[in-house]
Structure 1
Amino acid sequence: MKRDKKRIEGEPWSAEQLQLYLDFNTYDGTDRDFHCLYRAYTRMDETAFLQFVALFKSEGRNLAATNPDGHTLAALLANHAQSEFYLGALV
């Protein structure tokens, strides 16, 4: 993040902001759907992530997309101690 940019936390995510997370590209061969989901997980609060997953599904995107090691986001979240809500949103 640029130093002149202030990090905003606790603010609601707009529909436009959520939509932007559908458009990330990868340059290392990572499945695009996995990359978008992972970035959303690492940057969004629970409410925004739930909205994003709904949007993701409505766009026909793949919740079972895998990373280069063959793991889905749900499989990775199963190992994170505080990811229960996020994991539930993917089911």
Structure 2
Amino acid sequence: MKKDKSRVEDVQWGDEQLREYLNFNTYDGTDRDFHCLYRAYTRMDAAAFEAFVELFKSENRNIHATNLEGKTLAQIVATHAKGGDYLAVLG
């Protein structure tokens, strides 16, 4: 992280902020649902991510969407040492 950047922690994620993560577009052909999930995973704590995934599913979005390499977010998270809580959310 650059020295002029500071880590943002303890962010309160409200419905409006979670909904913003449903609307990301991609420009490289990546599945839009995968992209939204991945961005949420990389920016939210586990509790916020769980709330986001519930919202994501309620919008009939594809939790099993894949990236350009054909991997789901769950497959990627399974390789991360600290991904257990997130993986449990993805089911």
TM-score (norm 1): 0.91
Measure the CA separation in 1 of the matches of 2:15 and 2:68: 29
Counting only pairs closer than 5 Å after superposition, residues 28-39 of structure 1 correspond to structure 2 as 28-39=28-39
% identity of equivalent residues = 63
Q: Secondary structure at the match of 2:88?
A: helix
**For structure 1, which segment, 9-18 or 58-67, has the greater mean C-alpha deviation from structure 2 after superposition?**
9-18
Measure the CA separation in 2 of the matches of 1:7 and 1:65: 29
CA RMSD of aligned residues (A): 1.6
Q: Secondary structure at the match of 1:18?
A: helix
Q: Secondary structure at the match of 2:70?
A: coil
What count of residue pairs does the alignment treat as equivalent? 88
Gaps of 5+ in 1: none
Aligned structure 1 segments of 4 or more residues deviating by more than 4 angstroms: none
Gaps of 5+ in 2: none
Counting only pairs closer than 5 Å after superposition, residues 1-91 of structure 1 correspond to structure 2 as 8-91=8-91
Pairwise CA distance, 1:12: 1.4
Aligned AA (1:40): A
Pairwise CA distance, 1:7: 5.6
TM-score (norm 2): 0.91
Q: Secondary structure at the match of 1:52?
A: helix
